[in-house]
Homo-oligomer: A and B are copies of this chain.
Amino acid sequence: MVARKRGNPLALAVLGLLWERPMHPYEMATTLRERGKEHSIKINYGSLYTVVQSLEKHGLIEPQEVTREGRRPERTVYALTEPGELEMQSWLSELIGVPVKEYTSFEAALSLMGLLPPDTVVTLLEQRRERLTLTLHTIESMLRKLDMSRAFLIESEYHQVLLRAERDWIDGLVKEIRDGTFEDLALWRRLHEERDRG
């Protein structure tokens, strides 16, 4: 058998859930939503069922029983196999222990920002800054009224840290462009002025 390709983290979440107890796919989705994991892991039905199929194909999970309640569609309850438990541990260990470069669309946008004139960029950055602050406030107030135990909040704590770092950095950048400290600002501006005339 070929080495499993570790793609969608949703598959890892599935392994995690089955580590606790057997479940059918739909229940996995709702359980994940109840626990608020949808904010850190993208869940959607299409992917969920493909992912479960692929895990079964690789022998990491196996159908335990097929039940039916009333005349609802059948539910296949899956259980974790032993290879599945090992895979879950090794995969999760890799995700935590080995950083991988993730391509964000904002980083891409920054690398192309020279395509817009400086003043436009400043306006947009300020817009982003405001929106980030708003998101941050929303998260903070959500957490305050939720008051779950720390272990469930780790991921959103991390998320907040990154958001704040981004906001502060944008702040600095905006100031530099505004007061002309930004290197090659003149060049940048000239380029767009020429283009506008030409």
Contacts and interface: CB of A to CB of B under 8 A. Distances in A.
Contacts of A108: 9, 12-13, 40-41, 95, 155
Interface in A95-117: 95-116
B151 A114 contact: yes
A155 B19 contact: no
B96 A128 contact: yes
Interface string A86-100: 001100110111111
A105 to B, nearest CB: 5
A155 to B, nearest CB: 4
Contact of A116 (B93, B102, B114, B162): B93
Interface string A1-45: 000000001001100100100000000000000000101111000
Contact of A40 (B88, B93, B107, B157): B107
A166 interface: yes
Given A13-B112, A109-B92, A116-B92, A161 B154 contact: no
Given A93-B120, A116-B89, A131-B98, A110 B183 contact: no
Nearest to A109: B95
Nearest to A100: B105
B115 A19 contact: yes
A88 B112 CA distance: 10
